[in-house]
């Protein structure tokens, strides 16, 4: 043992130096602690010391200390260190290396189960308020709805982070049907009808769980989804229209945002796509903003305008990167 000739109490007070790496915020520090120090005490120190930098990290609750490299094993193994145990119990040696990083298993355990199935949705447009059969599916921070289970393009979506409440319908015209429930967002109320009351309760419980999860982990969906308003110039009338754009997999979808709803208006294929910054002086348009760029596909050039130079650069990078990723994936498949 490494406490030969010493009392255990004396050994616990021995000071050792450690290297701690925090890749998520690009930090590397050297600290000294007695061996009696618990892993949890070190975690609390890191969270306090770098509170501002860590405030934007997704799922900080899942960050743990790992024994990344030991002077005794050459770094062949990585051990998760539990908060209640001290450094002595893990055999941490002088100049060992630890890492503070996300334990992805914790995140997967807490992430809500994705829901899918048919519901009827009450229309908002027109005086009749017709009910339409739609396929609903929760994907990350969105409740998407499609014409049917077999279609791939969502005709609309409800942002889970904008939901205020989910409950059985309070609309007096629905009192005779216990299968109807309502989703109240910051801008409107959606009325949905399940097959039966039991299914309704399942949807309410599942959506409430998803809503709470994404509201408390809002940083993740901003990282996973590139979306936001852009102006797009029409291909026929050449007028500029404000649309909500959402970058997903092989397409850049764009929606009409109206009365708190998002209605699909089209999609731009990303295979082989390129982008280019358009200088104001080069632009032949009299568009509403100065920050123009083009999305060039094999069939068309889409003229776009962002709200700032920062937004323009972010969109150009995201579209170009996703286009290259998708194109390389397709090319690899066709080459087989």
Say what the pTM is: 0.52
Residues 6+ apart with CB under 8 A from 285: 233, 238, 240, 292, 303
* Predicted local confidence at residue 72, as pLDDT: 47
What confidence tens digit (pLDDT) does each residue in 129-186 have? Answer: 789 999 999 987 889 999 999 988 888 888 888 899 999 999 998 989 999 999 998 8
Q: Which of 30-34, 150-154, 213-217 has the lowest average pLDDT?
A: 213-217
- How many residues can be counted in the chain? 336
* Predicted local confidence at residue 222, as pLDDT: 47
Instruction: Examine the pLDDT at 82 and tell me if it is beyond 80.
Output: yes
Average pLDDT score over the chain? 83
pLDDT bucket at 58, cuts 50 / 70 / 90: low
Structure tokens at 5: 């000739």
What is the C-alpha separation between 1 and 171, in angstroms, rounded? 72
What confidence tens digit (pLDDT) does each residue in 291-331 have? Answer: 899 999 988 999 999 988 889 998 998 898 888 888 887 77
Share of the chain above pLDDT 70, in %: 83
Q: In terms of C-beta distances under 8 Å and separation of at least 24 residues, what long-range contacts does 259-265 make, across chains too?
A: 259/124, 259/187, 259/188, 260/185, 260/186, 260/187, 260/188, 261/124, 261/156, 261/188, 262/156, 262/157, 263/155, 263/156, 264/153, 264/154, 264/155, 264/156
* Predicted local confidence at residue 124, as pLDDT: 73
Q: Which of 75-84, 241-250, 251-260 has the lowest average pLDDT?
A: 75-84
Instruction: Examine the pLDDT at 202 and tell me if it is beyond 70.
Output: yes
* Predicted local confidence at residue 289, as pLDDT: 58
Residue 233 · residue 303 · CB < 8 Å: yes
- 285 or 334, higher pLDDT: 334
With the CA atoms of 263, 266, 271 and 273 taken in that order, what torsion angle do they form, in degrees rounded to the nearest 10? -110
What is the C-alpha separation between 114 and 222, in angstroms, rounded? 19
- 71 or 138, higher pLDDT: 138
Instruction: Examine the pLDDT at 24 and tell me if it is beyond 80.
Output: yes
pLDDT bucket at 122, cuts 50 / 70 / 90: very high
Which CA distances in Å does 34 have to 9, 63, 92?
A: 11, 22, 11
């Amino acid at each position: 043992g490494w406490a030969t000739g010493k009392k255990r109490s004396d050994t616990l007070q021995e000071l050792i130096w450690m290297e701690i790496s925090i890749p998520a915020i690009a930090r590397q520090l050297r600290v000294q602690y007695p061996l009696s120090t618990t892993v949890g005490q070190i975690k609390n120190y890191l969270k306090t010391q770098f509170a501002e930098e860590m405030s934007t990290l997704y799922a900080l609750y899942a960050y743990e200390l790992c024994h990344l490299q030991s002077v005794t094993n050459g770094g062949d193994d990585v051990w998760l260190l539990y908060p209640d145990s001290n450094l002595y119990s893990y055999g941490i040696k002088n100049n060992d290396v630890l890492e503070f990083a996300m334990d992805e298993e914790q995140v997967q355990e807490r992430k809500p189960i994705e829901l899918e199935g048919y519901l009827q949705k009450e229309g908002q447009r027109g005086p009749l308020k017709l009910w339409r059969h739609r396929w609903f599916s929760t994907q990350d921070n969105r409740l998407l709805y499609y014409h049917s289970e077999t279609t791939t393009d969502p005709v609309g979506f409800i942002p889970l982070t904008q939901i205020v409440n989910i409950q059985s319908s309070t609309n007096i015209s629905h009192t005779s049907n216990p299968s109807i429930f309502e989703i109240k967002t910051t801008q409107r109320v959606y009325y949905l009808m399940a097959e039966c009351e039991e299914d309704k309760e399942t949807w309410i419980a599942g959506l409430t769980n998803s809503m709470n999860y994404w509201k408390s982990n809002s940083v993740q969906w901003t990282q996973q989804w590139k979306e936001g308003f852009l102006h797009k110039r029409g291909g026929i009338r050449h007028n500029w229209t404000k649309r909500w754009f959402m970058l997903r997999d092989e397409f850049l979808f764009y929606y009409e945002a109206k009365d708190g709803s998002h209605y699909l208006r089209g999609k731009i294929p990303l295979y082989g796509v390129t982008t280019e910054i358009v200088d104001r002086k080069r632009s032949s348009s009299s568009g509403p903003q100065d920050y123009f760029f083009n999305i060039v596909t094999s069939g068309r050039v889409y003229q776009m305008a962002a709200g700032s130079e920062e937004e323009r650069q972010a969109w150009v990078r995201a579209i170009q990167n996703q286009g290259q990723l998708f194109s390389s994936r397709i090319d690899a498949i066709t080459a087989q």
